[in-house]
A and B are shown apart, each in its own frame.
Chain A
Amino acid sequence: GAGVSQTPSNKVTEKGKYVELRCDPISGHTALYWYRQSLGQGPEFLIYFQGTGAADDSGLPNDRFFAVRPEGSVSTLKIQRTERGDSAVYLCASSLNRGAYNEQFFGPGTRLTVL
């Protein structure tokens, strides 16, 4: 079946601009996660949704970052007033349910470059 998909695959923007990154989880998966991976590092947690609600947004670096999942399926990560330090690969993952033992399946990521 279809895996997690993310669009766009690459995004180049200028400092100060607004960007939206989209994630389509595996059908039927209730939990959705956003991570950010910088060069040479492992992915770092940003936010997690159970259904439509953000269950844990403790990883969002500041209030320029915001994410929504209005219908409990597709999610959008929004970044305002982008900075060069926001350049990274943004990974989305989904799992069937929440819980420490549920496998998280990752999408291919969106590579964001802020010039």
Chain B
Amino acid sequence: RKEVEQDPGPFNVPEGATVAFNCTYSNSASQSFFWYRQDCRKEPKLLMSVYSSGNEDGRFTAQLNRASQYISLLIRDSKLSDSATYLCVVNSNTDKLIFGTGTRLQVFP
């Protein structure tokens, strides 16, 4: 079983739609949690950190459920420019990041 699991997609949604991605992690000692965005043939870039209290950044909302070892990302009012791969990432206090396989999002006009 992979340490971080996410649905690879692709998710094909129209502009303006709301889309949600989920991710589960296996190491209960994991300390920090992130969503990274990766455009085709580019490097991953931090989208947002994820906290137990939930956090919001504009159209993006991230949530962490430690009891269920589950992380989510919600994107509201999708834009064409949101098309990318979204990587769920966990750090278990070993300094190395553990990445999921990524979920591909394609927003169409």
Contacts and interface: CB of A to CB of B under 8 A. Distances in A.
Interface of A: 31, 33, 35, 40-45, 48, 50, 55-56, 59, 91, 93, 98-101, 103-109
A16 B99 CA distance: 30
B61 interface: no
A101 B34 CA distance: 10
A42 B42 CA distance: 12
Interface of B: 4, 8, 31-32, 42-46, 49, 87, 89, 91-102
B43 A109 contact: yes
A33 B96 contact: yes
A59 B97 CA distance: 11
B49 to A, nearest CB: 8
Contact of B44 (A50, A59, A98, A106): A106
Given A106-B43, A108-B42, A108-B43, A56 B95 contact: yes
A91 to B, nearest CB: 6
A56 B99 contact: no
